[in-house]
Structure 1
Amino acid sequence: MSIVLITILTLAGLGALAAVILYLASQKFKVFEDPRIDQVEEALPAANCGGCGFPGCRAFAEALVKADDISDLNCPVGGPDVMSTVAEILGKEVGKTDPMVAVVRCNGTCEHRPRLNEYEGATSCAVAAALYGGETGCSFGCYGLGDCVEACDFEAMYMDEETGLPVIIEDNCVACGACVDACPKDIIELRKKGPKSRRIFVSCVNQDKGAVAKKACDVACIGCGKCEKVCPFDAITIENNLAYIDYDKCRLCRKCVPVCPTNAIHEINFPPPKPKPAKEEEPANTPASSN
């Protein structure tokens, strides 16, 4: 028998032995994966946005399958329809969630918040925030460099060149929260869309005392408390010189809007207020005529 043939047979035997060992090892250490994970992942929108709180749709699918109760889990991109499909696959009940939308809690446009200097560094809010407080006297406001727009995968935001602030395109927003995480100033918040997409919120995050905040920005919240006093639902609180409206308690009565001295409270998608009817002038008293 030639050396070449012996070599071939030896290698073939070693290969077969290795294959048997690998097969036995794979069977012994095989990890069972629930086939429903693939079904749930297929039902999800494959956005991998992280809005569900998990790093991608696959991880979210695994969490859904493993969870005994999925009422607190939600896919913001797919919404109720996708979650209903997932519930059918898993035979579980899904919780009812109110649709959310991102809002920009800063109204410090160039008109209201004068610039004191000019930033010439990297075009990044995160970089600017690490260097200094900003171009204006308000160290809490928007930098206007567009990190939130870059983070949005759904074309739901753009920078308004005139105001220097981000604008939310409500119909495109899926409330994934990417813009919230990208903003180093925490001026973007997810809030309930509200009935007929109507909502009220304080468009300011300035925590300076009233006089300082007002000097830096004409439309800053000064923490005066007038809105808190007129709210009949205890939806408004004042903390750190700043008013905040709890969207779970707010009933959209709008009583807080007209009392705000700086117009820091915004009302979205409401019809214009009806003009109050003019009071009729009472006729002047005329002396009775004598016969």
Structure 2
Amino acid sequence: MSNMSIAIAVLVVMTSVGLVFGLILAVANKKFAIEVNPLIHIVEDILPKGQCGACGYAGCMAYAEAVVINPDVQPNLCIPGKSAVAKMVGELTGKAALEMEPRVAFVKCAGNQDKAIKAYKYEGIQECVAATLLQGGHKGCQYGCLGFGTCVRSCPFDAMTMSEDGLPIINSKKCTGCGKCEIVCPKKVIELVPIGVPIAVNCNSKDKGAIVRKVCSVGCIGCGICVKNCQHGAIKIENNIAIVDSKICVSKCSESTCLHKCPTGAISKFSQ
């Protein structure tokens, strides 16, 4: 028998074996197939499909499966979907959807290229996490936004852009409050705040006032003037920075006196 004949014979045998195994697998797949609850796909279809993970699960399909199958998983875990989606998921799964507080991302830094000094010239990878590996970053303020847009690139809803002066801008109409940007920021400059809060502290520094003045012209110096001028006790100084109780601020404040008293302008109206 020639080499060609042997090769053909081997090819025929291998093809036959492949077909047999393929048939066996097809039969087994059909016989042992696990039926998927159709409600899982229905729930998944109404989710925003941002795959942001704000619900605590690895994507929308994983959450849909969990909320349908597990009676302990709440129907209001999809933050981007807000109350409307929570209500629909609750109706489909027979669960009560608790009221959700709508939130939006906020950048706690106003120290742009003109207002905050640089400790050195950075020429590495234009990415915030990478930049922090070199002495914590190139900014004089070790708590400030580094301006490389890691948060912008991580936003699954296209709700963020970078300004020309090196700070992220949040489109509150597009922002779902999923928190993805908050998670990826190595400086923890971004936080989620309730929609409707009238004021915000545009600073993240924990340094004492004298240090803040040296590196940023708009940083909070922890002077406490805002605390003294707040009639409702909504502001306190903690770790050298003003902290605003958003619940008190939203419910009681009708005139933000602190805005006019802040010597550096670190407190400003929260534009939404």
Task: Classify the TM-score, shorter chain.
Answer: 0.7 to 0.9
Bigger shift: 99-108 or 31-40? Answer: 31-40
* Structure 2 residue 182 is matched with structure 1 residue 180: yes
Q: Which residue of 1 aligns with 2:216?
A: 217
The one-letter code sitting in structure 1 at the alignment partner of 2:225 is: K
3-state DSSP of counterpart to 1:250 = helix
Determine if contact 1:69/1:93 at 8 Å carries over to the other structure.
no
User: 1:243: Cα distance to partner?
Assistant: 1.3
Moved more, 140-149 or 33-42: 33-42
- Residue in structure 2 matched with residue 67 of structure 1 by the alignment: 71
Give unpaired runs (5+ residues) of structure 2: 1-16
RMSD, aligned CA: 2.9
Distance apart, 1:80 and its partner CA:
1.8
| Amino acid corresponding to residue 94 of structure 1 in structure 2 | A
In structure 1, the residue matched to 2:59 is 56
C-alpha displacement of 1:124: 0.7
What is the CA distance between 1:190 and its match in structure 2? 0.9
Please give the alpha-carbon distance, in whole angstroms, between the structure 2 residues aligned to 1:124 and 1:224: 33
Distance in 2 (CA, whole Å) between partners of 1:124 and 1:143 is 9
1:136 to 107, 119, 139: 139
- CA distance in structure 2 between the aligned counterparts of 1:187 and 1:203, rounded to whole angstroms: 9
Q: Tell me by how many angstroms 1:24 deviates.
A: 12
Note if contact 1:116-1:136 (Cα within 8 Å) is conserved in structure 2: yes
Moved more, 211-220 or 44-53: 44-53
Please show how residues 14-93 of structure 1 align to structure 2 within 5 Å.
Answer: 26=32, 34-65=37-68, 66-68=70-72, 70=74, 73-93=76-96
- Please name the residue that 2:237 is paired with: 238
Which of the residues 130, 152, 155 maps onto 1:152? 155
Instruction: Give the Å deviation of 1:235.
Output: 2.3
Deviation at 1:113, TM superposition (A): 1.1
Structure with more of its chain in helix, by fraction: 2
* d(CA) in 1 for partners of 2:174, 2:144: 24
The percent of aligned pairs where both chains have the same amino acid is: 41
**Superposition pairs for residues 228-267 of structure 1, below 5 Å?**
228-251=227-250, 252-253=253-254, 254-267=256-269
Contact 1:106 1:187 in 2 (8 A): yes
Structure 1 residues 24 and 203: CA distance shift in structure 2, 3 A: closer
How far apart are residue 230 of structure 1 and its match? Answer: 2.6
Unmatched segments (≥5 aa) in structure 1: 1-10, 271-291
Tell me the TM-score normalised to structure 2 length: 0.81
Aligned-partner SS, 2:242? strand
**In the superposition, relative to structure 1, how do residues 233 and 53 fare at CA in structure 2: closer, same or farther (>3 Å)?**
farther
